[in-house]
Amino acid sequence: MGVSAGRVGSCVKSAMGKGIITLTGDKSDLEQVVIEGDYEGHDFKVLLKDVLYQADYGDDYEDGSEGATAICTCCDPDDYPMRAYVTRLCQGNPQFDSGKFHNHCTECKGFGKCIGDYRESHCEVCNKHWFTGLTGFPCDNCQQKKQRERMQKALLAGDPRGMYRIFQDDSEEEEEEEEEDVRDEENCVIM
Ligand SMILES: [Zn+2]
Ligand SMILES: [Zn+2]
Ligand SMILES: [Zn+2]
Ligand SMILES: [Zn+2]
């Protein structure tokens, strides 16, 4: 069918793996409609072949979404048609997106899954996703876990002042020392 399997996006692969997009082996597979409708005032009728090589990560949304492979049907394809990502294909809930909320995490098991905001990252320590932002905040799941562990320790030691200090530390961190603390945290920083 002229499909370059290695280039197929993980979101589509994941949808195929889960049977959300079904293949029969026939050429017509590629012509199946994955989503149609209006996006930003443009008409879209997106076929499987249109999103086959879509990027898994929509961070180019401010630069014209070049990684988005679906284009509108209402404009001349040679004359800057509207482009859109189709996100959450892997969840059977496809939606148009500029890319800002298209982030298919390939570090999750299998072919991965869509997690929304492009600023979210997969934490290798706890296998959850957290808001990294553009400056790389540490994983808040791990932070919370650490805090819980410290709490438990203080509890076990019967040390209410220790627990009190934990709360104090954390509120200070948020107010003043956030930036330095981000750099000092050794956990969850992906090398
Ligand atoms: Zn259009
Ligand atoms: Zn993930
Ligand atoms: Zn996905
Ligand atoms: Zn984590």
Q: Where are the domains of the chain?
A: 5-118, 140-184
What pLDDT is stored for residue 177 in this prediction? 40
Return all residues near 39 (Cβ < 8 A) that are at least 6 apart. 72, 82, 84, 96
* Distance, CA of 121 to CA of 136 (rounded, Å): 9
Q: What is the pLDDT of residues 166-177, one digit of tens each?
A: 766 655 444 444
Q: How close is the Cα of 170 to the center of ligand 3, in Å?
A: 35
The closest ligand to the CA of 87 turns out to be: 3
How far does residue 50's CA lie from ligand 1's centre (Å)? 15
* pLDDT exceeds cutoff 90 at 44: yes
Nearest to 85 by CA among 75, 95, 74, 72: 95
Measured in angstroms, how far is the CA atom of residue 10 from the centroid of ligand 3?
A: 7
Helices (H), ranges, the chain:
10-17, 48-51, 140-156, 160-175, 178-184
Residue 171 near residue 147 (C-beta atoms within 8 A): no
> How many Å apart are CA 124 and CA 114, to the nearest integer?
17
**Alpha-helical regions (H) of 20-60:** 48-51
pLDDT the model gives residue 8: 94
* Greatest distance between any 2 Cα atoms in the chain: 72
Model confidence pTM above 0.85: no
Q: How much distance in Å is there from the Cα of 139 to the middle of ligand 4? A: 5
Q: How many Cβ atoms sit within 10 Å of the Cβ of residue 170? A: 14
Distance from residue 11's CA to the centre of ligand 4 (Å): 23
Q: What percent of the chain has pLDDT over 70?
A: 86
Mean pLDDT value across residues 43-51: 97
* pLDDT value at 45 more than 80: yes
